[in-house]
Structure 1
Amino acid sequence: MERRVGEILEQLEGIIAARKAASTERSYTSQLLAGGVPKISKKVTEEAGELVEAAATESDERVVAEAADLFYHALVLLACRGLTLEQVETTLAGRFGMSGLEEKAARSSAS
């Protein structure tokens, strides 16, 4: 069965939303959400560091596993804030057609 890119992330986003609504103590996701932005942010920072470290010294499989961990925790952080993958996708889509330097300058001037 072939999947389109992003399908699993959308499914994961739905599971995270269900855990947020159910708030069961037996769920790691629910425990993260109960800890709020500070707890989830700490995990995102940790996972980002692990990804960078793996990229420098470990196998491709380990890098992919760490990237998956980072994506998961980033989705939990978005859910905690009431934000969606669709919003991230819209932002990324809006960046097409301009160079990275132009995009960065546009963000800086908007701040």
Structure 2
Amino acid sequence: MTDAAPATAAPSSTDSLARLAEVIASRRGGDPDRSYVARLFHKGTDTILKKVGEEATEVVIAAKDGDPAKIVYEVADLWFHSIVALAQFGLTPAQVIAELERREGLSGLAEFASRPR
């Protein structure tokens, strides 16, 4: 046994997403000349959704190129802009995580079949 203090747990990815969502939400109503996120909110839903689409395309291109660092970089951009889109609709990453947890352990085919049509 040692006298060393126990290691503190590293923050979870859900903590990081929650912190990012808080920062993004705090930019709503901010000065669009001083904040990229405030500018996105100021320009509105169509601009935000266009950015999500652009970033999704960049993820596909990075994956086709097969460069792991580029894939991570582009997925980070996609997640960021997706969180902006969530905020635009009054939603949070926690709600997406809850949905993923709901699906956990379900067969993908069974989950797909249970979706409303």
Structure 1 segment 62-77 matched on structure 2, within 5 A? 62-77=70-85
1:81-102 Cα shifts (integer Å, max 9, x gaps):
0011111111111112211111
3-state SS of 1:6 partner: helix
In 1, distance between residues paired with 2:12 and 2:52? 26
Code of the aligned partner of 1:24: D
TM value normalised by structure 1: 0.89
The share of aligned pairs that are identical, in percent, is 41
Counterpart contact for 2:18–2:94, Cα < 8 Å: no
Q: Greater helix share, 1 or 2?
A: 1
Matched, 1:84 2:106: no
In structure 1, the residue matched to 2:50 is 42
In structure 2, the residue matched to 1:98 is 106
| Structure 1 stretch displaced more, 32-41 or 66-75 | 32-41
TM value normalised by structure 2: 0.85
| Structure 1 stretch displaced more, 52-61 or 75-84 | 52-61
Code of the aligned partner of 1:96: E
Alignment RMSD (CA, Å): 1.4
- Number of corresponding residues: 108
1:24 is aligned, of 31, 34, 42, to: 31
Structure 1 unmatched ranges of 5 or more: none
Structure 2 unmatched ranges of 5 or more: 1-7
In 1, distance between residues paired with 2:23 and 2:87? 11
In 1, distance between residues paired with 2:15 and 2:73? 17
